[in-house]
Amino acid sequence: MAKQVIALSKRERLLRAVSRGPLHVAIIAICLMWMVPSTGLFVSSFRPKDAIATTGWWTAFSTASEFTLANYQQVLTAQGMAQSFMNSLIIALPATLLTVAVAAFAAYAFAWMDLPGGEIIFLVVVGLLVVPIQLTLIPVLRMFASAGLTGTFPAVWLAHTAYGLPFAVFLLRNFFIALPKDLLESAFLEGAGHMRVFFRIVMPLSVPSLAALFIFQFLWLWNDLLVALVYLGGFRNVAPMTVTISNLVSSFGSEWHLLTSAAFISMMLPLVVFFALQRYFVQGILAGAVKG
């Protein structure tokens, strides 16, 4: 009887694997299709201009001697990409942390504090998601100009924080409100205040959702061009990588091969952040979408 059960379970697993085979093949094929452009970009970034102009990137492996670091050297030194990399980091990291911190406090208040008109305020905040950023550029730019913040990092920090808060509050509030109510009520009965509950209970339990929000916000800020171009203007000493790369497009019409190296430099840090936090990313998104 036990052998029959084992044989039946093996048969079921085999049938399940065969039935899911087409799905797995389709997923692998889609992943390979998405990887082809990135692979071509990476290989081309190490090839000289003449080789890129005459042959495809897939032929580079036949003559390994044609690979060179000259493209990266020229981009990082002569074109100021190293400084732009640091500027992007200075812009993205503080603005992301500021957005996550403010959104966490606001989401906790909406989820667990008895606020007068809290539901209406929350709906207004979520409604800001449909407001295009372009509508706010001129008024906010005038406000920053009158305050003397144009062309400075604090201007971009404040702008990105304001633009990211509606989605951040929505995501975290959905996760916070799904936490075990009995756990928080027990803490309140034992004399814990909101600040203690927030830092000792809510925040440790919300690491997946916070990590997912951190990835979303960081990738958006790192790849942003519009906000940085408007509020930083033409100040090269504070220009992020997106602005510098856009200038390469217009000024390097004859040296377009450098764009591959510049583009891949801008891709490296987001890839590291995503793969380092990807397990929290899936958990946080599912928790915020299903619960609440």
Distance between CA atoms of 52 and 44, rounded to whole angstroms?
Answer: 7
Quick check: 172 and 206 in contact, CB under 8 A? yes
High-pLDDT (> 70) share of the chain, %: 86
Secondary structure (H, E, C), 131-160? CCHHHHHHHHHHHHHHHCCCCCHHHHHHHH
Residue 160 has pLDDT above 90, yes or no: yes
* pLDDT per residue as tens digits for the range 172-206: 998 898 888 888 888 888 888 888 889 988 988 88
Closest CA to 288 of 54, 107, 120, 133: 107
Length, in residues, of the chain: 292
Q: Please name the residues in contact with 180: beta carbons below 8 A apart, sequence gap of 6 or more.
A: none
163 vs 260, residue with greater confidence: 163
- Model confidence at 69, pLDDT cuts 50, 70, 90, reads confident
Residue 6 has pLDDT above 70, yes or no: no
Q: Quickly tell me which residue has 């171009």 as its tokens.
A: 229
Residue 37 has pLDDT above 90, yes or no: no
Q: Please name the residues in contact with 13: beta carbons below 8 A apart, sequence gap of 6 or more.
A: none
Q: Quickly tell me which residue has 């996760």 as its tokens.
A: 175
C-alpha separations of 131 from 124, 136, 163 in Å? 11, 9, 10
pLDDT of residue 236: 74
Domain at 74-290, CATH class: mainly alpha
Neighbouring C-beta atoms of residue 150, cutoff 10 Å: 17
Taking each helix axis from N to C terminus, what angle separates 153-176 and 258-290, rounded to the nearest 10 degrees?
30
C-alpha separations of 156 from 33, 160, 229, 292 in Å? 35, 6, 10, 32
High-pLDDT (> 90) share of the chain, %: 22
Task: Please state the domain extents for the chain.
Answer: 2-66, 74-290
Residue 72 has pLDDT above 80, yes or no: yes
- Model confidence at 63, pLDDT cuts 50, 70, 90, reads low
Q: Which tokens is 253 given?
A: 């019409």
Distance between CA atoms of 193 and 61, rounded to whole angstroms?
Answer: 63
74 vs 111, residue with greater confidence: 111
